[in-house]
Structure 1
């Protein structure tokens, strides 16, 4: 939502966002209860919860990049193939050439950034529809991956490479990071509340803020304790949390974030107000490419290999996560936290159906039905507004 929107519109959007979060929270509770009963409560074991969060990390990082693309009024169908290609490149550098891990990471991230720029250049400056540009990228990147790997799996990756996707934080380190992060968040909330009071802006009652903070603290610390009960907080989860915080800050507290919302809401009004639309869209795609590279490193590290089929249809999971999280396909509306929660819902469904040995075709049908339902709800809500 642009900062210049009327206060009534802002309140309406904020209420809708809060309602969306409540609905998603209820959906998570229902999904977990259902799969827990169907798996004799093994679904809620610390080991499976740890695995669930690791699964969420890859889709969640993809969704963080995708949500900015969709908010800007565009789409990216190439992220699955791009992730597979970048993961294949990382595996080749690690296995075939034996490059040190820092150099492999640097080159992979740079390649992701450049591939994102490539997509963004065609969309922003050549005016080719993003659907066509990224559809072409989806085919081309997959073809390049098959070509450079000769259609074979590149394995096994080194132990150093495994640190990215297979390592865990020591229990004490995870707890210290969690408590420190909560302390910083609560301090920022108090500072924000004081500033709003200073400028005589509306603030929620103190007891409401305290209840919200207590609930968040209990949730975060409970998750860390559960993860510590297995092996500790997985490194991919720490990366997801880091990019979640950075993405939320960009969306809510920077001019760049406000420009993305403005462009998605009304591109012509944004252009007339002085926003460089082309430059902003180019930056959005570059940022998306960088995050795809991060997800690719985690995927290759977790699999211990680079596979020609890696990242297959991952773009659909990322898009579905954004839409389930409340992002509008029309652009201009969405939240980073909503996209990550949507990714968690998608991962929960995958994990639960796999534990129940649900046939693969049914898994696709269920995920497709949920995606259709989420888009329908978005359309119905927009029509009501």
Structure 2
């Protein structure tokens, strides 16, 4: 029981947000009389919130590294506008335009990384300047007008769905197969992690709870898959999103770069003294954020079927909110990709549910602001609670325990032998 309590307390942010998401879904499912979880509405939820979830993946990494990026909405709008102009005015093939736009986004991110990592200007200032700069450039390149007439294949990036395969089962077969495969892979990887943890004597959940956890998660994933398959199948942008979740979860949890990001966010001075190239890591983090902002801009342009001067407005606020609601710490060093996705889904369900209920946009903004404040307040409260009680994550008054008495005596004897009496030949 003590092991379970310790594990739950150590992961209270993640479990708390999962419970909150489930509660919000059930609440709006009741208030909307079952409309929220209708297959078509669930499919629309994925399509409508994909660009925010893509940005949230990059933003949580930026926040973990103790930075912030206020420019992602403007960068997304600018890259989307640049892509539309390439395809319509200069007849650039859509796939080549996509690659060029991703490179443009990464280049903008590298520009931010240069000023942040190598010049030392705070990311808040750098990206605030870029927010204004690229919003203005978006208006310049579009000449204040909407640019449409995009290629059909490009528009499928934001509105298309995976093709139908196999026999007619009244469901999208490929989507169902992917959902079942996803559950199987999740269980397999978690079993491997559990076995490795036990091998090194780390604490693990008791097996009944471990099994119950995967039964519940598997049931949720299969139900979600069923709803998507019962509509039009998995959207192409959903496939892109799930691929990004898998890639960045692996990078942040299983690679040296990911561990360096957490190390820098936790204590930049300690990371520097440990040999971490903090400038290089900061540069890569900001470059990656620019790349994902460019991708979000392309997805937005494809979904709207046109480049709009007002595209991307408030994207940065939604991405930041998703990261903090999902458990990222304001001071850096804490946060996960899955947590940011959960936070983004909380915001998406709130938006969708309130829209279905006919709540006006002004009240929607007010409620989302209160949710963000509550999430950050919960994070602060949890830190104070664990610190006061000595629980998981509690701050220690002494980071290193004192050496044993016999070791202290041995050191003193060696020092006395080295120094020797004054004037002796043994003095060094």
TM-score by length of 2: 0.84
- 1:289 is matched with which residue? 290
Are 2:275 and 1:302 aligned? no
1:151 to 121, 144, 148: 144
Contact 1:251 / 1:258 at 8 angstroms: preserved in 2? Answer: yes
Correspondence list, 1:14-93, <5 A: 15-16=8-9, 18-93=11-86
- 1:240 is matched with which residue? 241
Are 2:132 and 1:139 aligned? yes
Point out where structure 1 has 5 or more consecutive residues left out of the alignment: 1-10
- 2:210 is matched with which residue? 209
SS across alignment from 1:293 = helix
Q: Select the structure of larger CA radius of gyration.
A: 2
- C-alpha distance in structure 2 between counterparts of 1:200 and 1:265, whole Å: 25
Are 2:182 and 1:189 aligned? no
- C-alpha distance in structure 1 between counterparts of 2:22 and 2:8, whole Å: 21
- 2:409 is matched with which residue? none
- 2:328 is matched with which residue? 327
Contact 1:72 / 1:260 at 8 angstroms: preserved in 2? Answer: yes
Contact 2:175 / 2:228 at 8 angstroms: preserved in 1? Answer: no
- C-alpha distance in structure 1 between counterparts of 2:37 and 2:205, whole Å: 35
- C-alpha distance in structure 1 between counterparts of 2:60 and 2:10, whole Å: 15
- 1:104 is matched with which residue? 97
Aligned-pair distance for 1:17? Answer: 5.7
Q: Give the superposed CA RMSD.
A: 1.7
Point out where structure 2 has 5 or more consecutive residues left out of the alignment: 165-171, 388-428
- C-alpha distance in structure 1 between counterparts of 2:223 and 2:90, whole Å: 43
- Write the deviation string for residues 95-142 of structure 1: whole angstroms up to 9, x where unpaired: 222321210110011011111111111011111111110000100010
- 2:117 is matched with which residue? 124
Contact 1:17 / 1:326 at 8 angstroms: preserved in 2? Answer: no
SS across alignment from 2:364 = helix
SS across alignment from 2:330 = coil
Aligned-pair distance for 1:240? Answer: 1.3
Are 2:273 and 1:272 aligned? yes
Contact 1:120 / 1:284 at 8 angstroms: preserved in 2? Answer: yes
- C-alpha distance in structure 2 between counterparts of 1:210 and 1:60, whole Å: 29
SS across alignment from 2:342 = helix
Give the paired residue count: 374
Contact 2:105 / 2:293 at 8 angstroms: preserved in 1? Answer: yes
Higher mean alpha-carbon deviation, 302-311 vs 176-185, is at 176-185
Contact 2:35 / 2:41 at 8 angstroms: preserved in 1? Answer: yes
Higher mean alpha-carbon deviation, 170-179 vs 147-156, is at 170-179
